[in-house]
């Protein structure tokens, strides 16, 4: 479950990124991550555990340093025992930003799930620390994580499998590489199990910067697809066999681009910033 925000404090930013964020020229997403992690005083821990490529962690370390972070540390976890080491927990305990790289989200959940590291990341976010991730590192952030599923736009019973994530919040379910890999169907199928959460589909090079007040601010070159099941009046999920199409009535869908917002508490989308006349 998400950690409780202490009285008088604000939760930190949550920053899921759809993968393939620009790392060369227009690095707006990573620049903004550094900014909301403390700017010139940012102290960032990069966790490349989802990736099996040795260069992943050092690459993000260089990127965040180039973007002005004061200190950047790469902290990989090869075993669950690593997640109990006091030195690693102490280092995470002073970070102002925690970033999970892409790779395999099940590698993250099986290595980190239920460990002191997972508990500390939730607690740090509840106490104001920014936590973000790209691709698999985005999927792991919520309480309910899409482990794998079928591509396509149809809602099909059994076409998606969920697993417990880190649990920073239970308000949304993330899917990444969204438009590029045709994942609308599997996100809607995940919501058909329980429409309480909001589905957030992130295109590549696109991020949802989720502020302490639960407002999503879009950054990047693509779109963020919001699937809101709050007004679902009917779902056939409970009465059909696996592999059959699901009937769902009352889903609401929004597509946001940079400048648009969506509030996870009120479930209101706003594009007024896009409608202002250009000077």
Residue 62 lies in a domain: yes
**Which residue among the candidates 204, 214, 217, 219 is catalytic per the annotation?**
204
What's the average model confidence in pLDDT over 43-67? 97
What secondary structure, in 3-state letters, does the chain show?
CCCCCCCCCCCCCEEEECCCCCCCCCCHHHHHHHHHCCHHHCEEEEECCCCCCCCHHHHHHHHHHHCCCCEEEECCCCCCHHHHCHHHHHHHCCCCEEEECCCCHHHHHHHHCCCHHHHHHHHHHHCCCEEEEECHHHHCCECEEEEEECCCCCCECCCEEEEECCCCECCEEEECCCCCCCCHHHHHHHHHHCCCCEEEEECCCEEEEECCCCEEEEEECCCEEEEECCCCCEECHHHCCCCCECCEECCEEEEECCCCEEECCCCEEECHHHCCCCC
Q: Choose the catalytic residue: 21, 143, 177, 214.
A: 177
Residue of 135, 142, 159, 235 marked active site: 135
Q: What pLDDT was estimated at residue 275?
A: 83
Separation of alpha carbons 67 and 171, rounded Å? 31
User: What is residue 279's predicted lDDT score, i.e. its pLDDT?
Assistant: 57
pLDDT attached to residue 99: 98
**What residues make up the domain containing 68?**
14-152+161-230+252-274
Q: What is the pLDDT of residue 138?
A: 98
- Residue 9 within any structural domain of the chain: no
- The answer to whether residue 245 sits within a structural domain is no
| Mean local confidence (pLDDT), 41-50 | 98
Q: How many domains does the chain divide into?
A: 1
The pLDDT-based confidence of 1 (bands split at 50, 70, 90) is low
Indicate whether 196 belongs to any domain.
yes
**How confident is the prediction for the chain on average, in pLDDT?**
96
CB 207 within 8 A of CB 218: yes
Is residue 242 a part of any domain in this protein?
Answer: no
177 assigned to active site: yes
- 246 part of a folded domain: no
Active site residue 144: no
Q: Is residue 1 part of a domain?
A: no
* CA gap 251, 76 in Å, rounded: 40
- Residue 102 pLDDT > 90, yes or no? yes
CATH code for the domain in which residue 216 is found: 3.40.50.880
Domain assignment present for residue 74? The answer is yes
How do residues 245-259 score in pLDDT, each as one tens digit? 999 999 999 999 999
Q: Both tokens of residue 209?
A: 């910067």
Q: What is the pTM of this model?
A: 0.97
Q: Is 204 a catalytic residue?
A: yes
Q: Tens digits of per-residue pLDDT, 140-186?
A: 999 999 999 999 999 999 999 999 999 999 999 999 999 999 999 99
């Amino acid at each position: 479950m998400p950690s409780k925000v202490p009285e008088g404090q604000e939760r930190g930013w949550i920053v899921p990124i759809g993968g393939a964020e620009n790392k060369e020229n227009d690095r707006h997403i990573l620049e903004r991550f550094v900014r909301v992690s403390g700017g010139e005083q940012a102290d960032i821990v990069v966790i490349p555990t989802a990736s099996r490529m040795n260069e992943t962690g050092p690459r993000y370390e260089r990127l965040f340093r180039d973007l002005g972070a004061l200190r950047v540390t790469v902290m990989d976890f090869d075993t669950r025992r690593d997640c109990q080491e006091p030195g690693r927990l102490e280092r995470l305990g002073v970070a102002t930003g925690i970033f999970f790289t892409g790779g395999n989200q099940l590698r993250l959940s099986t290595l980190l799930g239920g460990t002191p590291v997972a508990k500390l990341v939730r607690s740090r976010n509840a106490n104001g620390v920014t936590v973000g991730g790209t691709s698999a590192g985005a999927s792991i952030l919520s309480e309910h994580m899409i482990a794998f599923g079928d591509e396509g736009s149809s809602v099909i019973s059994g076409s998606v499998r969920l697993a417990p994530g880190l649990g920073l919040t239970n308000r949304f379910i993330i899917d990444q590489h969204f438009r590029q890999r045709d994942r609308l169907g599997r996100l809607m199928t995940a919501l058909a199990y329980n429409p309480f959460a909001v589905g957030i589909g992130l295109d590549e090079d696109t991020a949802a910067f989720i502020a302490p007040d639960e407002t999503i601010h879009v950054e990047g070159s693509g779109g963020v697809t919001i699937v809101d099941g709050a007004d679902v009046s009917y779902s056939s999920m409970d009465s059909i066999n696996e592999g059959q199409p699901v009937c769902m009535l009352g889903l609401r869908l929004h597509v946001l681009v940079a400048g648009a917002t969506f509030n996870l508490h009120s479930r209101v989308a706003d594009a007024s910033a896009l409608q202002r006349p250009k000077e």
